[in-house]
Amino acid sequence: YVFFSCCLAHIPSGYYLQTMNSNLNLDGFLLPIAVMNVTSILPLLILAPCMEYFSTCLFPSKRDGPFLLACILAGQLSAALSVMVAGFFEIHRKHFPPVEQLRSGKILTVSSMPCFHLVLQYVLLGVAETLVNPAFSVISSRFVPSTIRGTLMNFLTLFNGFGCFMGALLVELVYLISEGNWFPNALDKGNLESFFFFLASLTLLNVLGFWSISQSFFINPYNKKFFSSLYKI
């Protein structure tokens, strides 16, 4: 969950840097940088009701541990894929000729690649958030005794904040170790894609670790009975 929060924390950093250095001109209208964040909200608005209908109306008996585990794994894989796609599009962005663009009263030299090319990475990150966060909420409400449920929710909030701080620390370490190459001040003079691929690799390792640990809790029949008894408390 920490590395997942670390990926989410990079929307206002790496992703926005990409968007700011892309062509935001739409038929003479200069789009705001944050407009791309709207695309990451769309999966929440579309997928959340569909998942609720699928799990409640069609297969109500399948809302157990394995289903929640699949949602969390799929969400974390989607987050890793989002960062990986961001790396490929950063390479793709550099192949476009530069253009001048007015931003915050200053004329900046940016890539002529339309910002809409970056939609996929925002959508994948929105899908990840839609799959992971509700699954953790269901786990806390169904499989955790009511006496410690509030404490668990506080810990989830703490881990989310820790992931944001870890993301900021990771950016600072990468900046210092690579001497500004992997997280450059000017994207055309560095290799931001290397940082994205590095973060995607860490997220994939986190998915493998989560899978190896969690399957013994959610899939083992003994543990399923144990969780069921806890839910009755």
Q: Residue 110: enclosing H or E segment and its boundaries?
A: strand 106-111
User: SS3 of 219, please?
Assistant: coil
Q: Identity (one letter) of the amino acid at 64?
A: D
pTM: 0.81
Q: How far is residue 93's CA from residue 113's CA, in Å, rounded to a whole number?
A: 6
| pLDDT of the residue at 84 | 92
pLDDT tens by residue, 181-221: 887 777 777 788 888 898 888 888 888 887 877 766 555 54
What sign does the CA torsion over 219, 225, 228, 233 have?
Answer: negative
Domains of the chain, each with CATH number or no CATH: 2-226 (1.20.1250.20)
- 227 confidence band (pLDDT: 50, 70, 90): very low
Average pLDDT on 38-48 reads: 81
| pLDDT of the residue at 88 | 93
Q: How far is residue 44's CA from residue 78's CA, in Å, rounded to a whole number?
A: 14
Among 8-12, 38-42, 135-139, 187-191, where is mean pLDDT lowest? 8-12
Please check the confidence at residue 229 and state whether its pLDDT lies above 50.
no
Q: Which residue has the higher pLDDT, 95 or 44?
A: 95
pLDDT tens by residue, 49-87: 777 666 666 555 555 567 778 888 888 898 889 989 999
Please check the confidence at residue 225 and state whether its pLDDT lies above 60.
no
pLDDT tens by residue, 165-189: 877 788 888 888 888 788 777 777 7
Residue 160: CA atoms inside 13 Å, Cβ hemisphere, count? Answer: 11
Q: Phi/psi at 26 (nearest 5 deg)?
A: -120, 95
Q: How far is residue 35's CA from residue 176's CA, in Å, rounded to a whole number?
A: 31
